[in-house]
């Protein structure tokens, strides 16, 4: 009996290193599971922050786009149409109507076309750009992980492209208005310039004599002396 017991104890002692190794493996596995859990929580937090940043970039780009449209509308309103040619004035009115309907209307309609399709092409293109529906927060594609439509770089590139077209349009319209106005002004004031000969020396002498007179025409309180 004692012999069997001693043999059993020896076998247990032989298994002790395996037992310690097994416990170490279990502990390492538990630590790995905890590290994996922390990593998943970190990835979830980073994804949430990235989505929030994309939403902020989306709203910022949308606000910048609306601000650009309002600025273009304000600049067009400041233009003086009195000296414009008829075709330039019609394009000016069409641009104002397109921008006004796009900015202030919840359901924008297409702008009416003018007979000259070449001149209305820029306005139609501008209107189509501003009439594109941006994705809403409730769209399923907005929440998809594999969609890059809301990436900040794509939003900035899209806004820069639209802003470039808007700036090009504004420069063209401004140059056209200035050219038309300059042409009308040159026709109005064409011819030799009229000049009136004035006796500046005599006027200065009379002013000095009047200043030192007993009853000057200009009181001393109204004359500013320059030292």
Tell me what pLDDT residue 121 has: 47
User: pLDDT tens digits for 147-159?
Assistant: 454 444 555 566 5
Q: Note the Cα 30 to chain centre separation in Å.
A: 51
Q: Contact at 8 Å (CB) between 142 and 54?
A: no
Q: Would you say how long the chain is, in residues?
A: 227
* Strongest mean pLDDT among 52-61, 68-77, 210-219: 52-61
Tell me what pLDDT residue 108 has: 42
Per residue, the 3-state secondary structure of 58-97, as one string, reads HHHHHHHHHHHHHHHHHHHHHCCCCCCCHHHHHHHHHHHH
Residue where the block lists tokens 């037992």: 19
Domain count for the chain, please give it. 1
Of residues 127 and 84, more confidence is placed in 84
> Is residue 126, in this structure, part of any structural domain at all?
yes
Question: In terms of residue numbers, what domain contains 181?
Answer: 17-133+157-185
Is 127's pLDDT higher than 80? no
| Tokens standing for residue 142 | 């907005």
Q: Is 114 exposed, middle or buried (0-12, 13-18, 19+ CB in 10 A)?
A: middle
> Is residue 214, in this structure, part of any structural domain at all?
no
Q: Contact at 8 Å (CB) between 184 and 83?
A: yes
> Is residue 144, in this structure, part of any structural domain at all?
no
Q: Over the chain, what is the mean pLDDT?
A: 68
Tell me what pLDDT residue 144 has: 44
| Nearest by Cα to 92 from 174, 165, 166 | 174
% of the chain surpassing 90 pLDDT: 0
Tell me what pLDDT residue 129 has: 47
Going by pLDDT thresholds of 50, 70 and 90, the confidence category of residue 133 is very low
Of residues 123 and 166, more confidence is placed in 166
């Amino acid at each position: 009996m004692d012999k069997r017991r001693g043999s059993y104890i020896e076998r247990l002692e032989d298994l002790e290193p395996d037992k310690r190794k097994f416990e170490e493996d279990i502990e390492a596995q538990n630590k790995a599971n905890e590290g994996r859990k922390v990593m998943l929580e970190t990835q979830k937090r980073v994804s949430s922050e990235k989505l929030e940043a994309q939403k902020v970039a989306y709203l910022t780009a949308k606000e910048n786009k609306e601000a650009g449209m309002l600025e273009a509308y304000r600049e067009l309103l400041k233009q003086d149409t009195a000296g414009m040619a008829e075709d330039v004035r019609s394009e000016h009115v069409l641009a104002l109507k397109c921008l006004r309907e796009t900015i202030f209307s919840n359901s924008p309609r297409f702008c009416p076309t003018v007979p000259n399709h070449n001149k209305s092409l820029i306005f139609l293109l501008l209107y189509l750009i501003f009439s594109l529906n941006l994705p809403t927060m409730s769209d399923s594609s907005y929440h998809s992980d594999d969609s890059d439509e809301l990436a900040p770089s794509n939003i900035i590139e899209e806004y820069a492209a639209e802003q470039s077209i808007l700036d090009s349009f504004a420069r063209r319209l401004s140059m056209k208005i200035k050219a038309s106005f300059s042409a009308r002004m040159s026709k109005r004031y064409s011819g030799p310039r009229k000049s009136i000969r004035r006796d500046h020396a005599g006027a200065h002498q009379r002013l000095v004599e009047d200043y030192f007179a007993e009853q000057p025409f200009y009181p001393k309180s109204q004359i500013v002396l320059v030292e």
